[in-house]
Amino acid sequence: MAASAAASAAPTPVPSPAPEGRVFISPSAKRIAAEHGIDVAVLAGKGTGPEGRVIEKDVLNFIAAAPKATPLAGKMAADMGIDISTVAGTGIGGKVTSEDLKVPAPVYAPAPAAPLSIGATIPFTGMRKAVAQNVAGSAQTAPHVTLITEVDMTEATRLRKQILADTEKNYGVRISFTDIIAKAVARAILDKPIVNASLQGDQIIIHDRINLGIATAIEAGLVVPVVKDVPSKSLVQISAEVKELVARARAGQAGGADFKDGTFTITNLGAFGVESFNPIITPGQSAILGVCAIKDKPVVVDGEIKVRSMMNICLSFDHRIMDGAPAAEFLARLKQILEAPYLML
């Protein structure tokens, strides 16, 4: 009995203050925070429970006072260093979505070219900084994997030569390899739609439109004008629209609508002789295609060595959305279409 009395008389232990950087939070409050994509670290000092413990009410109050954004948008904003309260949301009820965080948004004026001389200092501001935040956010958020395959572009080159004079004469449009590749990509996406998807919260959304972004370098930085609904357009229509969008961007006359709603991006460095690279996925998309230089090479065709026009294509994909096999299947299908371009029809 004496031992029992001594035990009952022992003082109740008092919880020690939370170590710096640690948040005491109830299990139910932690669950609610996780469901809403809230890092518990931001709740430090906001607890109203015993000894400053964060309870359900504290999390709910934080949610009510916080800017409305999808979990993906919240994560992207944090990775890109963007104050999400400054972003106008276009989602349901004004909620900020991943599309609202894409760069660039409104009409911009091109900045003068920075002096590129030895010892020069280039301001890290404006579009250069925005592009940096965009690509850094994508690289940190999406686990990138890049697959590379070689494509025989001999038939695509022959097709372009055959239609070049006619399209220039009758439509005033000069078909480029990027135009042909864009049409082929849209056709391949119809067969392998997983590359035309987005990760939104705990769902993978396969888009019902194929809107191709064409990465374009201008003096102010990198922009990605978007050609909407590519499968429904002819090669001439695609070519004309790409050229118009790029011209507006370079003249500083492009608006936010020119850059919105992209679902897949193409970036072509072939003009610079690049033979291989790892493109960074546009935030909110599942994949990007890097296009390399077309070069004449000796290859074995039907047991004979022949000179063919060869080109590498590099697909970077988000490994959260797809595994290597479906990405490789898309790349193989695109190769098949480019090597037999009549399959685009």
Which of 191, 229, 296, 319 is the catalytic position? 319
Count of beta carbons in the 10 Å neighbourhood of residue 261: 15
3-state DSSP assignment of residue 135 = helix
Q: How far is CA 280 from CA 37, 81, 141, 144, 327, in A?
A: 25, 18, 11, 8, 15
Active site residue 319: yes
Which of 166, 191, 296, 323 is the catalytic position? 323
Active site residue 302: no
Count of beta carbons in the 10 Å neighbourhood of residue 96: 25
DSSP-derived letter for residue 47 is -
275 burial (CB, 10 Å; 0-12 / 13-18 / 19+) is middle
**Of all helices (H) and strands (E), which one includes residue 125?**
none
**Of all helices (H) and strands (E), which one includes residue 27?**
helix 27-35
Determine the Cα–Cα distance for residues 69 and 67; give it in Å rounded to an integer. 6
Catalytic residues: 319, 323
